[in-house]
Amino acid sequence: MSTLSNAITQVGNAATTAASQVNNATTSALSQLGINTSSTTGSTTTGTSTSSTAQATGNAASQSIAGNFDTFLQLLTTQLQNQDPLDPLDTNQFTQQLVEFASVEQQVDMNTNMQTLISLQQTTEATSALQFLGSTVTATGNTATLSNATNSPATWTLNASAPGTANITIASSTGQTAYTGTATLNAGTQTFTWNGQGGSSVTWPDGNYTMTVTATGANGQAVTVSTQVQGVVSGVNLSQNPPLLTVGGQNIALSSIQSITR
């Protein structure tokens, strides 16, 4: 009887460990759904690998718990069949074991439901992203598209915390400096356009260009400047989680979208 009791205790310990894994997987699942259990979630993006890891962990934990639960039932049945009538199994211990494994079984069900919710959430996100096709969006970012063929300059929206003078550098997709200059900033939102003209009257080819801007105020204090870009959504990358919008040949996360116009 002592050997059997020890075996049951070991199974109980293994189940507790597996239950902890399920809790961790459940927390990951809630995070994927945007339901934060401890702090506000941040950037988008890890997406597919995080979701896959949570699902793999949840599946492994479920299989482990299911195996332990079956083993427990076999041990429990054997113990009841072979217990000593003069020294039967302690009622409190028996009840505690049943309660523990009933709780673990509930954790398995919860983890399965979380995986289902994640799948539904991913489907909803994909459907929502497709609705952006053809729309003009403004998003947080510093990379804009220059198109001389369509006479479309690269355009950025600058938002300055105070008036000041900005030092602007524009680089090509290969990292080459295409333009450097200064601009006067007002407090609030303004637009900066670049027609592709660099130093020595060089016209740069069509492509994506990245702006770097630093600004100082009248007294030399630093001025905070944020940048936004605008473009038409030409595609949706559904291979990522959450999906990415294609704007001007670059991928933009849904969370960076500031405004939408049709």
| pLDDT for position 46 | 39
The pLDDT assigned to 68 comes to: 63
State the pLDDT at residue 84. Answer: 76
Partner residues linked to 101 by β-bridges: none
Q: What is the DSSP string of the chain?
A: -HHHHHHHHHHHHHHHHHHHHHHHHHHHHHHHTT--SSS----S--HHHHHHHHHHHHHHHHHHHHHHHHHHHHHHHHHHHH-BTTBPPPHHHHHHHHHHHHHHHHHHHHHHHHHHHHHHHHHHHHHHHHTTTT-EEEEE-SEEEEBTTTTB-EEEEEEESS-EEEEEEEE-TTS-EEEEEEEEE-SEEEEEEE-SB-GGGPBPPSEEEEEEEEEE-TTS-EE-EEEEEEEEEEEEETTSSS-EEEETTEEEEGGGEEEEE-
> 10-residue block means of pLDDT along the chain (262 residues)?
51 54 48 43 40 51 59 74 75 75 74 78 78 89 89 93 96 94 95 90 92 95 94 86 85 87 76
For the chain, give the number of residues.
262
pLDDT at residue 47 in the model: 42
The neighbour count for residue 124, using CB atoms within 10 Å, is 10
Question: What is the model's pLDDT at position 60?
Answer: 57
Which pTM was predicted?
0.54
